[in-house]
Structure 1
Amino acid sequence: MIGYGGSVHDQFPGLPPDPFADDPSDPAAALEGLDPGIPLDDGERLAVEEDLADLDVYERLLAPRGVLGLVVVCEDCNDDHYHDWDMLRANLRQLLADGTIRPHEPAVDPHPEDYVTWDYCRGYADAVFRYNEPRI
């Protein structure tokens, strides 16, 4: 049996580690040069940074209430994609770092009632901040 011989390091915690990281026989290595990320412009970068800050607030408010993350309608397939808090945070950080989002496996058999939309989060946070003194 051939062992891996090293530890797997991932710069985007929250996403599953790349099982072929630093492996010279990585079957996807040939694809890396085909679609380089496009760096974000200043406006896009600011929007992603604001999303990261908002995500932190939403998680602090909603995770204790049993919300596991966000549901986003995929522009490519028009299906709902369920992202836990850590995966979404990792996706946004990677977008900031290199303008790409690494492919990842969708949630297995998610329970839609455990996920909410960005709009729900915004409305919930607005209500909490308007009518309460939040402890986040």
Structure 2
Amino acid sequence: MTSDEFRAFLNKASKPVKNEVEKGAIRKFAQAIGDANPLYLNEEAAAASRYGKIIAPPTFSRTFDYGAIEGMKFEAKGLIHGDERFRYFRPIFAGDVLYCSRKLVDVFERSGKLGNMTFLVYEQTAADEAGNPVVQSKSTIIYRGA
């Protein structure tokens, strides 16, 4: 796709996807990133905390399915992760049911040693069943073409 073709999808969002947060998935994620915080791994320690139950590590929301923007199809091979920032409204808890979607919010080009690159900036949102945001993230993906 060209930058102009990507721009046709600006401010379009994917349909929300239901994600159920399981404590086993939180544990596996914490172990994979080498974080032994008992709030992620130990139900008794988490129950005694101010949260009262298992919470997820900060970057756990990267594991969610945010869906695809309808009609926006391109070769994912060779994509480069450029940047990611998170904004939390509350912790992600084991047992949460979150509805996640992504929106393309910016497209721009840069030239570098490897040629032209298209930068795709997405906003991802995970909201609870009442529609309240739990976490929002903004990520930049670098597309170098097929």
| TM superposition score category, shorter chain reference | under 0.3
User: Larger % of strand: which?
Assistant: 2
TM-score by length of 2: 0.22
User: Larger % of helix: which?
Assistant: 1
TM-score by length of 1: 0.23
